[in-house]
Structure 1
Amino acid sequence: MTTSRKRVLSGMQPSGLLHLGNLLGALDNWKALQEQYECYFFVADWHALSTNYADTSRIREFVRELLIDWLAAGIDPKRSTVFIQSHVPEHAILHLLFSMIIPISWLERNPTYKEKQEEIKERDLSTYGFLGYPVLQAADILLYKPDYVPVGKDQLPHLELTRELARRFNSLYKPVFPEPMEHLTRFPKVLGTDGRKMSKSYGNTINLSDPEPVVRQKLKTMVTDPARVRRHDPGNPDVCPVFDFHKIFSPPPVIDQVNRECRTAAIGCIDCKKLVADRIVERMAPIWEARRTLIDRPNQLDEIVQDGSRRAADVAHQTLEEVKEAMKI
């Protein structure tokens, strides 16, 4: 690890199994960033409590599965610091200190606060932890003083709140925190099998841990152009979620073929889905192989986490010392 490169930080909640949306929207981006930047990637297990506090039975399992998926997708612990949030207590301490200075109105205007409550109606999210999770998120970020934070467009309000909190702290005490910039993901939205955004909450995911038969079966049931009822009806690829997958996974000649033949009914939805299924399986095959190797070596995973958490704690401790000196506590 070098300190001359610019720094990147990002994390994920272990709230379920990772899927193609996570691979395309985050992990592929992270994999590319570690070639150029000093990267810190953390498992946000405390954040998982904000929506899963009533049932924590699978969080440890999801933490482990998430780490396996990261490494299988190409996150290299020799080039990136991979760690678990709860293994670095400075995250909680800085969250507490930030919670003393952030106005409640800043949290109440968070656009995803009410959106999530509507999306996850079966759970009681009227908790301090859920309202205040952007404060913990800001602590997660600012603790490592990153230059860039990889995010999708839907996360930009959260990052702006982090910058506002950094400015507030710096003006109240003394300059400690730089304001991190966004690094937008290439695929901010990947559709699921039902045509909505791929999400664990919707149950429409193709998981990285799904075996090949499951992946193919899920793709067989994926929604297509709703106006194309019969095989000989011409379709419109512009409104078909399967064609969106082609644009991501298929080579240009296949994309052109599907685009042309769908509109003239020269290809049916079953054949169209098989073409893209072959490409997705080809893309996922190395991940499946790497997952099997990691599952067979549990001690290796533990060593990676311990080493990464130790390296992260060194940086976090230094930042927290600067914070305490600035606040005179």
Structure 2
Amino acid sequence: MSYTILTGDRATGLLHLGHYIGSLKLRVALQDDHQQSILIADLQGLTDNGHDPEKVSGNILNVMADYLAVGIDPAKTNICLQSGLPALSELTMYYANIVSISRLERNPTVKAEIANKSFGNSIPAGFFTYPISQAADITAFRADCVPVGDDQIPMIEQTNEIVRKINKIAGSDILVECEPLLSKVTRLPSVDGKAKMSKSLGNTITLSADEKEITAAVNKMYTDPNHLKVTDPGQIEGNVVFTYLDAFHPDEDLVQELKLHYIKGGLGDGKVKNILEECLQETLRPIREKRRKLINDKGMLLEILKHGTEKAVVETNKVLYDVKQAFGLNLFI
């Protein structure tokens, strides 16, 4: 079956291993057989960075370089910029009039993000309503499949609620419901095992990380605090090193042997970390080298993004026309 796929990332920093294993590899695999668009979500990035817009604008091309470095082919996948698509903001306004504040407050993803960012009583309105904006992003491309982490499933559910309400107003199915596409690893923990991955917290490994940064990150990875001696039996659950081995090491049999040995006792954390580090160095080396060349050609990156955005303007305006027609607002067309 051929799907229309929309996915994307907030332009607030370099992409990291969580992005890579969570959806980037999947996007690369899908682009040969599916119609796929990737949205660089700079507007969404401003929802909690409006006070520091450079954090968003300064990372747009970094995200572009990350995409291309992992294998996204702009000849197969259309890459576009959220702020370059006026239809998305207008659709957000229409959708905002059919979604209640209480429904937004019940969204588990929003609740978790608000708690994680410690906004207190100063939640930006744009952040609070970003499920509506995300629904506009998805529906504007008539995407019926969206690669997401399991934490984003409530966002898909709310998008589909909006789709059904708009279709009821229109009296026909002008918008398309979507379904989540989960990767094998739905969420990768931070290296310290304590919080969500964040470059500002220093608990992640970016796709551009050099050899020393990878080594340092693996060395401080959380393991089993009770595994004090090599001879001690160890725990696998909650052990970040083994979580990363499961996600990245190509030899599943070897990883299983390591787990059994660790549980039994006689396998030290240092040896396991060495195996993981070697794996991550091999994984990131070609990505880092390709990315270094890409980021030095900003003109090329801008041209790809400009072309993709112009193509997406035409696509999203068609959906906007249908939604405006449903509300009886195409008076001047």
Q: Shorter chain as normaliser: what TM range?
A: over 0.9
Which residue is 1:166 aligned to? 163
User: Structure 2: which amino acid aligns with 1:147?
Assistant: D
Match of 1:137 in 2: 134
Deviation string for 1:188-236 (max 9, x for gaps)?
1212211245511653101111111110111011111111123332322
**What's the CA shift for 1:88?**
0.9
Residues 297-308 of structure 1 correspond to what in structure 2 (within 5 A)? 297-308=297-308
C-alpha displacement of 1:123: 7.2
**Which residue identity lines up with residue 96 of structure 1 in the other structure?**
M
After superposition, the Cα gap between the structure-2 partners of 1:76 and 1:197, relative to the gap in structure 1 and judged at 3 Å, is farther
| Deviation digits for residues 99-137 of structure 1 (CA, Å, limit 9, x no counterpart) | 122222221211123322221116764232122111111
Check the 8 A contact 1:189/1:197 in 2, yes or no. Answer: no
Deviations along 1:62-112, whole A, 9 cap, x unmatched?
A: 211111111111111000100110011111111111112222222121112
1:30 alignment counterpart: 27
% identity of equivalent residues: 31
Instruction: After superposing the two structures, state which structure 1 stretch, 241-250 or 25-34, moved more.
Output: 241-250
**Given the two structures, how large is their TM-score scaled by the length of structure 1?**
0.93
Alpha-carbon offset, residue 264 of structure 1: 4.2
- Contact between 1:12 and 1:44, CA under 8 Å: does it hold in 2? yes
Q: Which runs of 5+ in 2 are unaligned?
A: none
- Using the alignment, how far apart are the partners of 1:129 and 1:31 within structure 2? 31
Report the alpha carbon displacement of residue 160 of structure 1 after superposing the two structures with TM: 0.8
Structure 2 CA distance for aligned equivalents of residues 323 and 14 of structure 1: 28
Select which of 84, 108, 112 maps to 2:109.
112
Q: Output aligned runs, 1:133-282, within 5 Å.
A: 133-175=130-172, 176-196=174-194, 198-200=196-198, 202-250=201-249, 251-282=251-282
TM-superposed CA distance for 1:261, in Å, is 3.0
Instruction: Letter of the 2:259 partner, please give it.
Output: N
Letter of the structure 2 residue corresponding to residue 52 of structure 1: N
- Aligned counterparts of 1:106 and 1:31: Cα–Cα separation in 2: 34
Which secondary structure does the structure 1 equivalent of 2:37 belong to? Answer: strand
Taking structure 2 as the reference length, the TM-score comes to 0.92
Deviation at 1:6, TM superposition (A): 2.7
Partner of 2:320: 320
Asked if the contact 2:190–2:203 (Cα under 8 Å) also holds between the matched residues in 1, the reply is yes
Which letter does structure 2 place at the counterpart of 1:268? G
Note if contact 1:233-1:265 (Cα within 8 Å) is conserved in structure 2: yes
Report if the CA contact (8 A) 1:45-1:84 is conserved: yes
Aligned to 2:289: 289
The 3-state SS of whatever aligns with 1:149 is strand
1:18-48 deviations in Å (ceiling 9; x for gaps): 1111100010111111121100101111101
2:87 is the alignment partner of 1:81:
no
Helix, strand or coil: the match of 2:39?
Answer: strand
Partner Cα separation in structure 2 for residue 136 and residue 114 of structure 1: 16
Helix, strand or coil: the match of 1:10? Answer: strand
C-alpha contact 1:51 1:123 (8 A) present in aligned 2 = no
